Amino acid sequence: MIRGFRGATTVKKNTEEQIVSSTKRLLEKMINENSISPVDVSHIWFTTTTDLDAAFPAKATRLIDDWQFVPVMCAQEIPVPGSLPLCIRVMLTAQTDVSQEEIHHVYLNDAISLRPDLELTKKKKNM
């Protein structure tokens, strides 16, 4: 089954170093928590809020061993008034045998506020 794995993070400043390093940390956590292999990945979409333009977050993918052939794309989020600033979102699409309920979506830093319900679901599974 092809499934989507979601993730998001925020940075403190609009710099290439922060965008790439924060995205790499997010991707690595998504990969590790879901046991994702690059050969099973169809593609990865990255979006950023309009206040982030110092680097392409997709660049982080190339810094992870064996992930250089995974297709990646970047886009800008819709600039909804009052939305979370300095935010990078990820949609990784991959082949997996796990159910939707077993997927570990990863939200880091201030992005945790985007989906606090997923944290509750994760805690219930661990009980």
Please report, rounded to a whole number, the percentage of residues in the chain having pLDDT higher than 90.
87
Over the range 69-100, which residues count as b (16 or more CB within 10 Å of their CB) and which as e? Answer: ebebeeeeeeeeeeebebbbbbebbbebeeee
- Per-residue model confidence as pLDDT tens digits over 75-107: 999 999 999 999 999 999 999 999 999 999 999
User: Which residues form the catalytic set?
Assistant: 6, 62, 74, 77, 89, 107, 115
The average pLDDT across 106-111 equals: 94
Binding residues for prephenate: 6, 89, 107
Quote the mean pLDDT of the chain. Answer: 92
Instruction: Judge if pTM exceeds 0.85.
Output: yes
* Residues of the domain holding 34: 2-125
- In the structure encoding, which two tokens stand for residue 12, read together? 């403190």
- In the structure encoding, which two tokens stand for residue 8, read together? 């998001």
Burial of 107 (0-12, 13-18, 19+ CB in 10 A): buried
The domain that holds 73 is classified in CATH as: 3.30.1330.40
* Contacts for 111 with CB less than 8 Å, ≥ 6 apart: 8, 9, 10, 84, 87, 88, 89
Number of domains in the chain: 1
Give the Å distances, CA to CA, from 49 to 36, 84, 107, 122. Answer: 26, 8, 15, 26
